[in-house]
Structure 1
Amino acid sequence: MSSAHLFQQTDKQSVRTLWISDVHLGTRDCKAEYLASFLKRYHADTLYLVGDIIDGWRLRSGVYWPQAHTNVIRRLLTMSKRGTTVIYVTGNHDEFLRRYSALMLGNIHLVDEAEHVTADGRRLLVIHGDQFDVVTRCHRWLAFLGDSAYGFTLILNRWLNHWRERWGYGYWSLSAFLKYKVKTAVNFISDFEQAISRECLRRGFNGVVCGHIHHAEIRRIGEVEYLNCGDWVESCTALIEHWDGTIELYRLAEEQAFPIRQGAELANVVETAA
């Protein structure tokens, strides 16, 4: 049994909204099993797919599509069939879909951006965010070069977590860790956040939900509420809106660590009692 199945719950939790981004189906580093397990646990009124769900860049150089990736698509279709409105916001890796923007297939809507109003009335711009990445927008060749280097770190990440799982440890992202340590990466993330927040403020939104940089976060930038979904390649994260309008950041690593902490605390209690 894979570790993804260990955290699957049988009872579905009803939530108002889910946001996921940067799944990159069609790549070896997509954590499709974890994502399918996560989606099975929720019934949502609305599900936003905030770009880069399918990786068209990688599929052009060769097809990689295991059953786990098909299972994610089937799960999304099942959610739509059962009443969830699925809004697919296009990104740069699935930009081939942008020519079909405004397409509606039943409960599935394809758009380049969307507006979401929370239960407590906040207006949020929902956009992938590649429009605010100067490298992607103005230096496309450099973006592809960076994508190749990034792919190498993901290969290292894959092998690292293979051995961590064999030794009983939870998921941990090497590539995400490097983002916090490399100054240029930190500066790039900060520039991206500032640029997208300024645009959000200019257009009169209370906040923005985005993806693109694979860096999940909820924080305020001036008057703007900045919410980034993260990804399902490195950090395995999502945003969840509850019925009162509060939005929380889900992290797979924190969920995996919780039962381990509980077990350690229980062991300490038993040892103390003995």
Structure 2
Amino acid sequence: MQTTFRSVFISDVHLGTKACQATHLLDFLQNIQTDTLYLVGDIIDLQEMRHKAYFVESHNKIVEQILAMAKSGTKVIYIPGNHDAFFRKFAGQTLSGVDIRLNARHQTANGRTFYVSHGDEFDQMVKISPLMLAIGDRAHGLMLSLNQWINGVRRFIGLPYWSLAGYLKSHISKAKEFIERFETAALKSAKNQQVDGYICGHIHFASFRMKDETLYCNDGDWVEHCTALTESKAGELSLLHWSEQPKIIATEPAPESWGFQPVPNRG
């Protein structure tokens, strides 16, 4: 599998919680090479750590690996989310080689411009259904606990990682409706900013969606799905799942299928 990239986007790691799939993420970071690493929010879950911290050695190693990557030449850009919003006060500064920003504009190798943010800014624009509110609170915690138990059993019998949350979000109509509204809000924002696409995280659901010549990209998470958005040296975008059996789970729609060609330096 290709492990050398021009850029990599990860978000919703939630270090400091038991739900973080730290082993898979550490393995991913140690086995890739990338010119630029975007940390697209909710990397350290300061919000949850106020109640109960779970910052074990594997979590420390992830932080150390990211800092080592920055020191060795990888450009690391950190865009805090709602769970690590404390770091937003440091926007514009560089700490230990990590550039902290509120958002970013990323230009791909083939000349497209993407706006990058965590995505929590759309919470006020998208009405969250009661189901999603439940998933976001106690029910979500229960689901993650079940996810850990299920995958513990799967590892024991030699089966690869599987996401319970991903299955539910893909099969429950109300969850699917919320995700679609979130994607629509991001696409509208990208269109208003006159960029070719939007890259974000926040809703823990990796996907591509094309509408009106604008591309929505969600890099997923590392508590439920273990996914990253990657850009090849040629500027092509893919979604990568990394666990016992790493694989590409999606590639962006081909430009010719859009009826659209990227415009160099637009935005």
TM-score grouping bracket, smaller chain normalisation: 0.7 to 0.9
Instruction: Say yes or no: does 1:229 pair with 2:219.
Output: yes
Q: C-alpha distance in 2, partners of 1:138/1:180?
A: 16
Aligned length: 246
Choose the corresponding residue for 1:101, options 62, 77, 91: 91
Partner of 2:26: 36
Gaps of 5+ in 1: 1-8, 259-274
Choose the corresponding residue for 1:23, options 13, 35, 48: 13
Q: Per-residue deviation at 1:138?
A: 9.7
TM-score by length of structure 2 reads 0.86
Q: Per-residue deviation at 1:25?
A: 0.3
Instruction: Say yes or no: does 1:173 pair with 2:132.
Output: no
Local SS of the residue matching 2:202: coil
Partner of 2:172: 182
Local SS of the residue matching 2:137: helix
Distance 1:126 1:231, change over 3 A: same
**Does the aligned pair in 2 maintain the 1:88–1:110 contact within 8 Å?**
yes
Choose the corresponding residue for 2:111, options 118, 121, 127: 121
Local SS of the residue matching 1:62: coil
Structural mapping, 1:84-233, within 5 Å: 84-105=74-95, 107-134=97-124, 146-233=136-223
Q: Per-residue deviation at 1:240?
A: 1.0
Measured on the aligned residues, the alpha-carbon RMSD in Å equals 2.4
Q: C-alpha distance in 2, partners of 1:65/1:14?
A: 29
Partner of 2:43: 53
**Does the aligned pair in 2 maintain the 1:131–1:137 contact within 8 Å?**
no
**Deviations 1:57-94, CA, capped at 9 Å, x for gaps:** 11000221110100100110110010001000110111
TM-score by length of structure 1 reads 0.84
Q: C-alpha distance in 1, partners of 2:243/2:28?
A: 13
Q: C-alpha distance in 2, partners of 1:93/1:162?
A: 27
Higher CA-based Rg: 1
Give the number of the structure whose residues are more often helix, by fraction.
1
**Does the aligned pair in 2 maintain the 1:21–1:232 contact within 8 Å?**
yes
Q: Per-residue deviation at 1:146?
A: 3.0
The aligned amino acid for 1:82 is S
Partner of 2:57: 67
The aligned amino acid for 1:34 is H
Q: Per-residue deviation at 1:112?
A: 1.1
Distance 1:213 1:134, change over 3 A: same
Instruction: Say yes or no: does 1:80 pair with 2:73.
Output: no
Local SS of the residue matching 2:24: helix
* Percent of residue pairs bearing the same amino acid type: 41
Q: C-alpha distance in 2, partners of 1:113/1:147?
A: 26
